[in-house]
Every structure is written in C-alpha cells, then in structure tokens.
Structure 1
Amino acid sequence: MRHYKSYITMALAAFTLFFVSCSDEYMENMNTDPSKADTIDPNAQLTTAQLHTYGDLEVSETYRSYIYAFNQQLMGCWNTTNYGGRYTLDLNEMGHIWQNYYLKNIKDLTDAQARTTDDEEKVNINAAVRIYRVYLMSHLTDIYGDVPYFEAGRGFIDGKFTPRYDTQEEIYNDFFVELDAAVTAFDGTKDRITGDVIYSGDINKWKKFANSLRLRYAMRISDVNPQKAQEEFEKALAADGGIIASGADDALIPYLDIAFDFGGESYSDYRRNALSQRLYGNDPRNNPSFICSTFYNQLFNTGDPRFYAIIRFYFDQIMSTTSTEGRIDITEEVLAKNMAHPRDPGAFFYEPWPEAYESDLIKELQESNPAIEKISMDT
C-alpha cells in the first residue's frame, strides 16, 4: 500500500509539472501578439527619432510657448506671450520636449545604439544613432541645463529607471568624444543605413554633419573653456569627411507640404514640420502668431535676406489653417506704407490692435475680379 501511494504521488507530481509547463506555454502564447515583432530594426528607430524631432506638435509647443518668446522671435500668440514673453513658470508647458525626447527619441536611440554596439555588421547605423543621440541631447541640455545623459534611456537595458543627472560640462565633453568616435567608425564596406530621412544613408554626409556639430558645440563652450573650444574646433575642421560647406549637405527632413488641421490626429501625425506651423499664420485655436519687433527690426534694419523669407503679409480670402488657397501676397505694399505691426516683447496680439488700412493692390484685384471679398486689410 505504501508503494502504491508512492506511485500515485509520483504520478501526480509528474502530471503537475506537465500541467504547469503546458499552462506556462499556453499563457505565453495567449499573451504574445502575433502582429508584433520580437525585435526592432535600429534603422526604423533612427527614422522614428528623426521624424519626432520637429514633426511632433507637442514638441513645437515648447518652442512656441517659451523658446521663440525668450529669443524674442515670436510674440503675440497668447501662449507665447503669457509664458516665454512674460517669463511665466509652467512646468507642463516647459516639459513637452523633456517628455517627448526622453520617452520616445532618446529611448529609441539608446536602445538602437546598445543593440548594435560591437556588431561588426552594423557599424554604420551604430555611428548614425550615436550622432543623432548627441544632437538631441544637445537640445535637452541647452534647454534644461544639467540632465540625465549617460544613463538616459537605459531603463529596459540595465534597469536604470532613475538615471543620474549629469552636469552640462560632463555632457558637452562627451559630445566631442562621441562625435569623434562615430566619424571614425563609419565604414563604406559595411552595412547600409536604411530609413534615413535626412541623408538617405549617405555616410559621407553623416560625417560632415557630425563634424559640423562638433564645430557648433565648440563655439558653445568658447566663453567658459576657450582653450578646449579652440582645440575641438580645430580637430573638427581637420576631421575625416570635412564639414557642411553648402546647402546640399544641410541636415534637412523633407516633410510633406501640408499644414496641421488641429484635429484629433494632429499631435501624432509626423508627416509635416510642426515648427513651421508657428510661422504659418491663421491659427484660430491659438490666436495669431506675430513676429516680435526685436527680431523684425534686427532683420529689417540690417538688410538680412532672410527677412523676406520669414516675414510676409497676406490677404486671405478663406482663412484656412490647412491651405493657402485664396492667399494674396501684399508684402511689398505693407512695407512701402509702413503698415507692418510686429509685436513688442511681452505684448499680446491685440496690444494695441493692429491698425487697418485699405490695400490698393486688393482694390485693383477687386475691380478685375468681383469675387474677391471687399474687406479692409488688417496686418
């Protein structure tokens, strides 16, 4: 009888192990989404980070509410003037770039870098994500100062859920190390960078981008550490690949030529340049975005050729936020009549309300085309 009980106990134990094993396998299969990949291509992670950089409308809100206003480039829009224009502290508005970069871009790039490190067949994508991570981290430290850098984005990789804050000096010093190492690592005989929406995988242009960033960061530290700034500047000029010397090598993302409609998908639609929307005009949700008088006068008084590319005046028949249909350019007339009304620092778009005038050009067009609505011009 004792032996019989032993056999029953052994059988039950075996059955239990089998059942647990089957249950674990069953639960694992049940909890695995067959439509999701087990791994992600680091090239896709680079693409995502690139498009998020300026295609994310929430990121552009920090530029609108603070950066453009602090720099006195834009003024007038309620958010722009109320926050940056009047130095109002609001952690939510100030935190858009922090949240988006760390939770999206830095996490993606750090993961892509970690998974391609020491992989001899992926040296080029590794170098590219290192360069782009430096570029985005420069935004974070320039805006916020001391920030997580060395341990940022490593929560999943090695459990760094509360990354250490590094000093801006430490961060900038590592920029030079990373950019130098990335340029050296590029190898034209190895992997092709796919999904790169800036340079289409051209490693020669990536080298120029990295070296040019090195020049920029050297100039950024020239006041606090002039000796190191000069050393890094000279090293960047002599580095393999050269620097950006023409517009053909500019780091540009060819976004689609469409405007945000401020609908439900606007914030997650990265097909268009979100920053450009701040210069688009006709934004009924946020009130007009005016050029700040500081920026306006600097460009106009110095004859800067960018003035006419950035600052223009239009008569809009339709007032659409998604189309320029029916838009008539009256820039020359507005300037000739001295009717431009840039906003002074700290002023809202209605302080004072811009003086209206009747446009001679619109009058002529109305005579030849009665369909043009007869309203006085408001610049």
Structure 2
Amino acid sequence: MKNYKLYILAVFAFALSSCGKELDEVNINPNATENAQPDYLLTGAIKNTADAYWSTANTMNSSLLFVQHWSKIQYTEEDRFIFSNSSFTSLWSTGYSQSITAFNKIIELGNAQSNPNYKGVALVLRSWVFLLLTDAYGDIPYSQAGKINDYITPAYDKQKAVYFGLLDDLKTAKNTLDPSGKAIAGDVIYSGNIVRWKKFANSLRLRIALRIADKEAAKAKSVLDEIKADGDLFISDNTDNAQLNYLTSPQQNPVSALFETRDDYRISKTIVDKLFALNDPRLPVYASKTQTATPEEYIGVPNGLTNSEASILGFAKTSKPGAYFLLPQAPAVIFSYSELLFDRAEAAARGFTTENAADLYQQAIKASLKQYNISDAAAATYAAQASVQYDAANYKKSIGEQKWIALFGQGLEAWAERRRLDYPQLTASVNTVLNGQIPVRFIYPGTEQSLNGISYKNAVASQGADLLTTKLWFDAF
C-alpha cells in the first residue's frame, strides 16, 4: 500500500510538470488585468502604510503610550509594558510584505513605462517605510529586502548602514523626480505635485541626518551642505505637509475607526499637565472635556495604572483624545512643517548651518499652532511666554519638549525623537515591568526566529538582546 501511494504521487507530480503550461493558462482571472497599474498600486500602498503608521499596534498600544501622549483606562497591560514577541508584528509584516513590495513594483513599472516620477515617488515612500522599521527595531533587512527571488531569508543590515543607504536612496529620488516630466496618478498625498515630493525627499534627508547626528556628526553636516549646495527646498509651509487625508467610513482614520467600537484610551496626564502649565492653546485640540463636568474640564490618566486603579478613575471623569483626532477625516501626518522647522533649528544649534536656531524654534511652535487653526495672535502670545523661550545652553531640552508637544498623535516619530533628544524626561509607573525603564525599541516578531532564524540570530549577536530595553545604535545617550 505504501509503494502504491508513492507511485500515485510520482505519477501526479509528473502530470503536474508536463501540463504546467496548460495550468498557467487556465489559472488566469479573465476579469483581472495581467499588468499591474502603478497608480492603483500607489494609492493602495500609501493607504496600507498610513493605516499601519496610525494603527492600534504601532501607536495606540505602544508608541503613544511610551511617549505619554496617550494612556489606557482599561486593559492596561500595554501601558505597563507587558508585551510578547507577537505584539509588534504589524509594522514588520505591513512594511515588508505590502509596502516595500508594492513600492519596489512601482519603481519597476516606472522604469518600464519611462516615467521617472513614479520611481522617484516610490523611492521616497519606500525610504520612509525603511526608516520606520529601523527606528523601531534597529538592525533590519534592507539591502536584501524585497528581493524574494534572490533572498528567501534576507540578512539584517546594521542600523548605521540602513540610515546611510536611505540617505543615498533619497538623494537618488530627489534627482529622479522631474516636475516637468510625465504626470503620475494615484497620488493621494500630493495629487501629483512633484515639487512637493522633492521637498518631502529633502525633508526626510534632514530627519535622517539628525537621527545620526550624535554618532556621525560629520556625515550629518555633509548631507545638509549637499542640500544647500544643490539649492534644494524643504517643506516650506503647512500646505506642504506630507499627510494622508482620510475620508468617511470605511476609509476613515484608524483612530476614528477604533473609537467607534472601543473606549480603551485616554489622553495622558503627563501631557495634560504640561499643556496646563504652559497655558498651551492646543489643550482643547488634543484633549476632550470630561463627559461628566469637572472643575478642571480636562483630566488626563496617569500612564501605567493597574486595571483596578484605572477602573476607579472611570470613563466619565477622564479625557479622551480631542475631537479633532477622533474625526473620520483626521489626517495621518507623516511629516509636518513644524517638524521641519524644529529640525532646522536643531541643525543650526549643532553648528551644521548658519541659520538662527532661536528664530526657527519660534517659527516651529507657531507653525504647530497654525496647523490646528489656532490664531496668529494666540500663537504669538504663547510663544512669548518665558516658559516657552529657547534655551541655547540646552537646545535639546527646548526643542525636545516643544517637538514632543507638536508631534502629538504621531507616536512612532515622537518616540524616535524622544529617544534621540532625551527630552521630555519621562518617568515610568511603578506598575510597569521594566524596572523603571521605558521601552526603547520594538522586539522582533516571533516569526523571524522560525522563518529567518540565522539572520535573526546574527542581528541579535550584533545589536544586543532582543529586548524592549536594548538601546539602538542611533540612541547614543
């Protein structure tokens, strides 16, 4: 009987090999195009990536808690840093299997169709995805990533090499993008405005230059010198903000979608207290008033409560995130003008440029307030306060604290900047499980150990233990 089964399998295998061509021809969907269209791919890849960037796993249940923008009012395990190696699969799986794969295909199609603007846009967005991945995990597959025909188990590149590679990729993208070239479609960020894509590319170059500044100051400065020598532009006002503007259900912002069915989250007491202390006009934008009237009107929830402690505070007397962020149409901001100005201020403070750091810092604060339609007069009054003034002797504190406020809701980026600048100085709850530490990286998905084990082990040997508390290369202090 065993030999008979083997014989049947052998005959079946031969039959499959001999009729492979026929099967290929039969297994064609007559209702689908055989050739992928770059415009449809671009729209889908942007949406998938933005959804992951603003999703529950990567923001609400992790990075927004780590930076104490948000907190949890029930099911507080994540706010106490209780995670497993399946907790951080979303960014990895979306980044590699969907985003990078799609952007590589768009690059290929742009070349095939002699439309360099598709290639340039896809290269910018692919660089952003790789940046999200390395900022979160550290060493990652980069040079061999997305090349499934050549590398089934891609090696992990060291974080320094990833940042340097992305700087080269973004320079290539900037030089490839041609405002007078062929038009592109499917662009739900800039509607095909190639000038704005070039600005975004250069702004990402500045972001990465500052990521490496504490370790590779000369390289960081050379990037800025190169941008200046080429006469290139950065994002130059709020209309240049790189963001996906969502629509109504089912194409709404992931935050809005979550709050339709759940009520797990509140604004953190840490940032509410800071906004109160600074008389910050963004408080009613960032936080909702308590459902049951309270003297303070806005009450944040301390991070790291136990479930019983959170239950005592209750839902009605604590503040949800602001209505602006709960709207279905709330934009997923990728890079804002305010961030760009803070970056320029820091570059000046480090001596990388000859610009005026204090002036750029003031402009950055005002740009953030204007982003939320706060009046110029209110912004000027806020920025003039002694408590908001720029301290040249401790630029990391001034920029770090105000940038943390301006990046509210952008969990992954706010977390990266807080680790890099070390401000604001946050305190972990006594209920957390990391001995007073706050997570400084995502742990690798457990599937990497089973599917890409050798590369995973090499990365851990190089970078350090696969723990939430293992500092990444860029996190120098």
Given the alignment of the two structures, is residue 273 of structure 1 paired with residue 268 of structure 2, yes or no? no
Counterpart in 1 of 2:101?
107
| Contact residue 71 and residue 267 of structure 2 kept, 8 A | yes
Say which of 91, 98, 111 aligns to 1:97.
91
Check 1:173–1:275 CA distance in 2 against 1; reply closer, same or farther (3 A cut): farther
Partner SS for 1:111: helix
5+ long unaligned stretches in structure 1: 1-18, 259-268, 316-329, 358-379
List aligned pairs for 1:215-294, cutoff 5 A: 215-258=206-249, 271-275=251-255, 277=257, 281=259, 284-285=261-262, 287-294=263-270
Contact kept, 8 Å, 1:194 with 1:200, in 2: the verdict is yes
Question: In the alignment, what sits opposite 2:445?
Answer: none
User: Of 340, 344, 350, which aligns to 2:298?
Assistant: 340
Distance 1:293 1:215, change over 3 A: same
Hey, what does 2:132 align to over in structure 1?
139
Whole-Å Cα distance in 2 between the matches of residues 25 and 288 of structure 1? 54
Is the contact made by 1:211 and 1:237 (CA closer than 8 Å) also made in structure 2? Answer: no
RMSD of the TM alignment (CA)? 2.9
* C-alpha separation in 2, matches of 1:288 and 1:70: 16
Indicate if the aligned counterparts of 2:73 and 2:301 stay in contact, CA closer than 8 A.
no
Structure 1 equivalent of residue 69 of structure 2: 73
Mark the CA change 1:126 to 1:292 in structure 2 (over 3 Å): closer, same or farther: same
Give 1:352's aligned amino acid: I
Q: Which residue in the other structure is 2:198 paired with?
A: 207
Q: Does 1:194 align with 2:194?
A: no
How big is the shift at 1:243?
0.6
Aligned pair count reads 301
Q: Which runs of 5+ in 2 are unaligned?
A: 1-14, 318-477
Match of 2:77 among 79, 82, 107: 82
Q: Is the 8 A contact 1:218 1:228 kept in 2?
A: yes
Q: For residues 220 and 25 of structure 1, do their structure 2 counterparts lie closer, same or farther at Cα, with a shift above 3 Å needed?
A: closer
Deviations 1:5-51 (A, max 9, x none): xxxxxxxxxxxxxx999966543332221122222122322211111
CA contact (8 A) 1:55 1:272 kept: no
TM superposition shift of 1:355: 9.2
Superposed counterparts of 1:275-314, under 5 Å: 275=255, 277=257, 281=259, 284-285=261-262, 287-313=263-289
Distance across 2 between alignment mates of 1:246 and 1:223: 28
- For 1:132 and 1:298, the matched residues in 2 are separated by 34
Instruction: Mark the structure with the bigger radius of gyration.
Output: 1
Deviations 1:244-299 (A, max 9, x none): 121111112121144xxxxxxxxxx5x12214556xx5x554x3311111122222
Q: Which has the higher contact order (CA 8 A, sep 6+)?
A: 2
Aligned to 1:350: 310
Between 231-240 and 180-189, the greater mean CA deviation after superposition:
231-240
For residue 243 of structure 1, give the secondary structure of its aligned residue in structure 2: coil
Instruction: Note closer, same or farther for the CA distance 1:276–1:229 as it changes in structure 2 (3 Å cut).
Output: farther
Residue 234 to residue 180, structure 1, CA distance change in 2 (3 Å): same
Name the residue aligned to 1:126.
119
Contact 2:53/2:91 (CA < 8 Å) preserved in 1? Answer: no
Query: What TM-score, normalized by structure 1, do the two folds share?
Result: 0.71
- Pairwise CA distance, 1:339: 4.8
SS in 2 for 1:290: strand
Identity of aligned residues (%): 27
Query: Within 2, Cα distance between the matches of 1:305 and 1:30?
Result: 63
Kept in 1: contact 2:272–2:298 (CA 8 A): no
Aligned AA for 1:95?
T
Distance 1:245 1:191 in 2: 24
**Contact 1:62 / 1:93 at 8 angstroms: preserved in 2?**
no
Alignment of 1:38-53 (within 5 A): 38-53=34-49
| Deviation of 1:233 (Å) | 2.8
Alignment of 1:148-163 (within 5 A): 148-155=141-148, 158-163=149-154
